């Protein structure tokens, strides 16, 4: 006897079929075209599942007067603000049954971090989605590279964010030998990284350096202070993500790319900015290397895989903006199987061609004058 | 520079021609057809030295020789010009300030109306009497009030004020205070709002061009050492509005002998007692609370972040939150919330989102929000801990068993306390005032008046004039024998 007759139970036929269809859609890869109908059909089914199996989300939708069957297009699926994941478990099964709980890095307040509950199905979809979403953009010729990761090794700090978990899987599949880590309990091991990059220059074996953007800023400052720069072998690439606001300074994306090229000799088409978040079970990254290899002339932007859609909404009204206008990014992702597929971020960006570009994160409320803003108060209290 | 002739001056430098000034930069506010262009001098140490020399000369040759009552009369006349809604500078302010600051035009109109009332001559006299006893101490040696002997009081020759941009019109108060003390004033406009003080200075010039030569308004980038060294070393007093970081930056650069006054970050809140939560007055209470949380779009340091509402009355705190929401909506129809940045909108939407999800799961939270955009938000939350608001008319209502409980709740932020708005019976109001005074609050006022302090308010617990004044005593009575 099946455990339950609930149509939307995790082991129900409906859910299994949906998982199968979404998995197949993802596995068809990033090259598939004309996916609008397919995406829409699966999105509406996934909404039906999440509406029926995720009680708080159902109430949230009900307040907006939206339920499955009433809507015809994925654009109408209510998006959940990212902050909601900090408050309550948002999943399609009892949270205590989660196989794995991921957390956001919680940059502003470590006490308040988003939590994403995944069961085996959700985890499998996360694996698949990450594997298929950016591989073409990071390794357009299917090549393998030496991976130099400016992050602590997983035995030191187990990955608890979706992007760390996901990227480790991607990198493991395309790394010659083992991933080399350049961070430990004490912080970045910059001397070791310098030595490793020198070795790459000597051997001519290209490397893929991965770091949060601020890690590069830190490294470049170190190199500048020592008068060091590199000319890394052809095919080497730098992957960055997380924003350009360092503890001591903030630079523009353009300035970052110029600096990175100057310091490492890596050309702009091998400087790949990634965009991920724990609330989204898909990674995004720049199209530059892919376009370079495939002879496509296009500006730098992020093209989401076919199982995602990204739109830009007015920060004030949350209504969709027209292409090119800057607003808040909202993502719809079929790999968000166990959680909520429509996520309203506070990342500022704009739509370009079939994709989007990120401008930065909304800074939160900064008081204009003598009144005190939340962040400042928190820092003043030393909390 | 092409186009600069048609743009609006973001400076007031009486007696300086455009040729004297030399180069200008263009400041832009708003977008599209709402774009406002203002021009601001490119300040150099040599230009500023000339400005300062002229301010000091005007102070010495003219301002210091006026009697305090003549000064009051001039200010009163200049302020009175603004009473007329057709007065061209007023029309200009009403047309441009909404575009520059983002505040709604209704908010700007109300601000101007209040300024006109606040800075009337009779209030200026009251302020002087309140702080000095006898305003004529500013003009001549006068017998001391209790002791033997006489004294006279002197203001700074030059006061420099670094303004913040959260509340339009704030610099006007400081210009007036400086003039009352017979001090010239060099104001550094906030980059967010460099217009109003300039228009007001022009009104002073209309009434008394000589007196207006003691006033200068300019803009420079905060932290410009070359400029600030010239300014701060020439000033007898420096007043700064702003966050802790900017205040500390300025403090470091002001010579140790110079009077330095900083108005840093502050926060305010409201307390509502059972006696005001009864059917026949709760509506009025909610309306007053809505005024406090809405004026200046909550950007002022006098604007409340939280209302603590007492339990056990006819109207429960959660119900009060609903009534407050209705009144926030009423207020918003009359005086709409202004334009805010995408960051600010995003912060409000994310905050609403997180509370909305908690509301779905627990009774301890309720969210009331404007139906469109982020115009206003009222959040009821059982957890009583003090949380600063993300502002722009986002207010929390939190229950307390007894208003006395507020004392402990507010302790974590006691270093920042400013105004406490209270709806309490007289006896409890006094008790609360004393508790809050002990914690550092400098103003306890009735609900509905939080953002409208009187001119004699002890801002940050200090005198407005007295802290900047210097006394000279004559101990022996002359020709005694």
Cβ burial A23-52 (10 Å sphere, 16+ → b, else e): bebbeeebeeeeeeebbeebbbbbbbbbbb
Question: For residue A303, which of A140, A121, A144, A102 has the smallest C-alpha distance?
Answer: A140
Beta bridge partners of B262: B240
Which value, to the nearest 10 degrees, does the dihedral of the CA atoms of residues A195, A199, A202, A204 take?
-140
For A269, the token pair is 């088409």
DSSP per-residue codes, A4-28: ---TTSTTSHHHHHHHHHHHHHHHT
Looking at beta carbons, which residues of chain A come within 8 Å of B354?
81, 83-84, 86-87
Residue carrying structure tokens 């099946």: A2
Q: Which among B167, B361, B390 has CB closest to A88? A: B361
Q: Give the separation between CA B55 and CA B40, rounded to whole angstroms.
A: 19
Answer whether A305's CB lies under 8 Å from A346's CB.
no
Dihedral through CA B422, CA B427, CA B430, CA B432, nearest 10?
A: -60
For residue A363, the chain B residues in CB contact (below 8 A) are: 343
Residue B374: list chain A partners with CB under 8 A. 316
Q: Which residues of chain A are at the B interface, by a Cβ-Cβ cutoff of 8 Å?
A: 56, 59-60, 63, 80-84, 86-88, 90, 315-318, 326-328, 344, 346, 348, 362-374, 376-377, 380-381
Residue closest to B29 by CA, chosen among B8, B3, B6: B8
- Residue B398: beta bridge partners? B308
pLDDT tens, N- to C-terminus, chain B (481 residues): 444 446 899 999 999 999 999 999 999 998 888 899 999 999 999 999 999 999 999 999 999 999 999 999 999 999 999 999 999 999 999 999 999 999 999 999 999 999 999 999 999 999 999 999 999 999 999 999 888 899 999 999 999 999 987 788 889 999 999 999 999 999 999 988 999 999 999 999 999 999 999 999 999 988 899 999 999 999 999 999 988 888 888 999 999 999 999 998 899 999 999 999 999 999 999 999 999 999 999 998 899 999 999 999 999 999 999 999 999 999 999 999 999 999 899 999 999 999 999 998 889 999 999 998 999 999 999 999 999 999 999 999 999 999 999 999 999 998 899 999 999 999 999 999 999 999 999 999 999 999 999 999 999 999 999 999 999 999 876 665 4
Mean pLDDT by 10 residues, chain A (383 residues): 74 96 97 95 98 95 94 97 92 95 71 88 96 93 95 86 91 95 89 96 96 90 95 96 66 90 97 93 95 95 96 96 94 97 94 92 52 45 38
Cβ separation of A365 and B348 shorter than 8 Å? yes
**Cα separation of B303 and B420, whole Å?**
9
Handedness of CA A211, A217, A221, A227 (dihedral sign): positive
A340, A57 contact by CB (below 8 A): yes
Cα–Cα nearest to A298, from A145, A137, A139: A137
The CA distance from B223 to the nearest CA of chain A, in Å, is 16
Cβ within 8 Å of residue B418, ≥6 positions away: B266, B267, B268, B301, B302, B441, B442, B443, B460
Task: For residue B417, list its beta bridge partners.
Answer: B267
Q: Do B346 and A368 touch (CB under 8 A)?
A: no
Nearest Cα of chain A lies from the Cα of B64 at a distance, in angstroms, of 32
Can you list the domains of chain B with their CATH numbers?
A: 4-265 (3.40.605.10), 267-454 (3.40.309.10)
Instruction: State how far the Cα of B213 lies from the Cα of B14, in Å rounded to an integer.
Output: 5
Pairing mode, strands A180-181 and A80-81: unpaired
Residue spans of beta strands (DSSP E) within A164-307? 180-181, 183-184, 187-188, 207-212, 237-241, 271-275, 284-285
Asked if B75 contacts B66 with a C-beta cutoff of 8 angstroms, the reply is no
User: In the block, which residue shows the tokens 């969709």?
Assistant: A320
Read off the pLDDT of residues B153-207 as tens digits, 9 standing for 90 and up. 999 999 999 998 778 888 999 999 999 999 999 999 998 899 999 999 999 999 9
B266 chain-A contacts, CB cut-off 8 A: 370-372
For residue A241, the model assigns a pLDDT of 87
Burial class (CB in 10 A: 0-12, 13-18, 19+), B258: middle
Which of B166, B222, B357, B379 best tests the A interface by mutation, with the highest count of A CBs <10 A?
B357
CA distance B2 to A306: 50
pLDDT in tens, B384-395: 999 999 999 999
């Amino acid at each position: 006897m099946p455990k339950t007759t609930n149509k939307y139970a995790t082991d129900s036929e409906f859910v299994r079929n949906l998982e199968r269809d979404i998995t197949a859609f993802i596995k068809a890869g990033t090259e598939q075209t004309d996916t609008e109908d397919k995406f829409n059909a699966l999105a509406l089914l996934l909404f039906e599942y999440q509406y029926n199996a995720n009680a708080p989300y159902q109430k949230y939708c009900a307040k907006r007067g939206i339920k499955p069957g009433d809507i015809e297009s994925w654009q109408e699926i209510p998006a959940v603000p990212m902050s909601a994941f900090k408050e309550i478990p948002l999943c399609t099964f009892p949270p205590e049954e989660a196989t794995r709980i991921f957390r956001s890095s919680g940059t502003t307040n470590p006490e308040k971090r988003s939590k994403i509950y995944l069961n085996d199905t959700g985890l499998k979809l996360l694996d698949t989605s990450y594997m298929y979403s950016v591989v073409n953009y990071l390794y357009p010729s299917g090549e393998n590279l030496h991976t130099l990761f400016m992050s602590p090794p997983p035995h030191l700090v187990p990955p608890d964010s979706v992007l760390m978990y996901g990227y480790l899987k991607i990198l493991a599949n395309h790394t010659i030998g083992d991933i080399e880590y350049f961070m430990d309990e004490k912080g970045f091991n910059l001397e070791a990284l310098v030595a490793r990059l020198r070795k790459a220059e000597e051997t001519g074996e290209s490397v893929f350096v991965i770091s949060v953007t601020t890690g590069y800023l830190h490294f470049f400052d170190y190199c500048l202070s020592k008068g060091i720069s590199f000319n890394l072998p052809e095919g080497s690439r730098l992957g960055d993500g997380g924003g350009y606001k360092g503890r001591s300074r903030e630079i523009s994306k353009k300035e970052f790319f110029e600096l990175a090229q100057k310091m490492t000799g890596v050309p702009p088409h091998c400087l790949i900015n990634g965009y991920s978040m724990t609330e989204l079970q898909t990674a995004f990254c720049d199209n530059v290397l892919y376009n370079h290899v495939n002879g496509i002339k296009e500006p730098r932007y992020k093209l989401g895989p076919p199982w995602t859609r990204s739109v830009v909404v007015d920060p004030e009204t949350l209504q969709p903006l027209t292409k090119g206008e800057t607003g808040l990014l909202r993502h719809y992702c079929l790999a968000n199987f166990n959680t909520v597929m429509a996520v309203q971020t506070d990342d500022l960006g704009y739509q370009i061609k079939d994709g989007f570009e990120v401008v930065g994160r909304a800074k939160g409320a900064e008081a204009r004058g003598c009144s005190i803003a939340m962040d400042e108060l928190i820092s003043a209290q030393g909390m | 520079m092409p186009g600069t002739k048609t743009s609006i001056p973001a400076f007031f430098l009486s007696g300086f021609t455009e040729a004297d000034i030399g180069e200008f930069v263009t400041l832009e506010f708003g977008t599209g057809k709402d774009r406002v262009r203002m021009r601001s001098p490119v300040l150099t140490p040599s230009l500023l030295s000339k400005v300062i020399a002229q301010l000091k000369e005007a102070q010495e040759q003219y301002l210091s020789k006026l009697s305090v009552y003549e000064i009051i009369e001039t200010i009163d006349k200049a302020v009175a010009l603004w009473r007329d809604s057709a007065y061209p500078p007023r029309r200009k302010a009403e047309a441009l300030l909404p575009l520059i600051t983002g505040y709604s035009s209704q908010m700007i109109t109300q601000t101007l109306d209040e300024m006109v009332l606040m800075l009337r001559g009779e209030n200026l006299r009251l302020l002087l009497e309140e702080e000095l006893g006898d305003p004529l101490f500013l003009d001549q040696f006068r017998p001391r009030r209790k002791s033997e002997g006489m004294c006279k009081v002197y203001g700074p020759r030059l006061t420099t004020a670094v303004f913040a941009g959260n509340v339009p019109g704030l610099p006007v108060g400081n210009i007036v205070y400086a003039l009352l003390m017979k001090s010239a004033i060099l104001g550094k406009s906030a980059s967010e709002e460099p217009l109003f003080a300039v228009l007001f200075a022009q009104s002073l010039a209309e009434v008394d061009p000589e007196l207006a030569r003691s006033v200068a308004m300019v803009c420079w980038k905060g932290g410009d050492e070359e400029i600030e060294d010239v300014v701060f070393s020439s000033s007898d007093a420096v007043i700064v509005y702003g966050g802790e970081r900017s205040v500390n930056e300025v403090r470091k650069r002001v010579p140790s002998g110079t009077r330095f006054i900083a108005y840093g970050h502050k926060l305010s809140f409201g307390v509502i007692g059972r006696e005001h939560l009864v059917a026949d007055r709760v509506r009025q209470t909610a309306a007053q609370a809505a005024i406090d949380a809405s004026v200046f779009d909550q950007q002022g340091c006098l604007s409340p972040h939280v209302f603590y509402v007492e339990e056990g009355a006819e109207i429960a705190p959660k119900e009060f939150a609903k009534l407050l929401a209705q009144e926030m909506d009423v207020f918003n129809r009359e005086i709409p919330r202004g334009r805010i940045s995408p960051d600010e909108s995003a912060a409000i939407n994310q905050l609403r989102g997180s509370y909305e999800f908690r509301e779905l799961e627990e009774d301890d939270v309720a969210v009331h929000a404007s139906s469109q955009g982020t115009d206003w938000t009222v959040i009821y939350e059982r957890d009583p801990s003090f949380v600063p608001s993300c502002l722009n008319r986002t207010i929390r209502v939190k229950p307390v068993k007894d208003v006395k409980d507020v004392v402990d709740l507010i302790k974590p932020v006691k270093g920042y306390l400013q105004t406490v708005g209270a709806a309490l019976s007289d006896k409890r109001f006094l008790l609360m005032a004393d508790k809050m005074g002990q914690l550092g609050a400098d103003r306890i006022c009735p609900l509905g008046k939080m953002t409208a302090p009187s001119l004699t308010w002890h801002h940050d617990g200090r005198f407005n004039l007295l802290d900047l004044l210097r006394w000279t005593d004559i101990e022996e009575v002359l020709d005694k024998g």
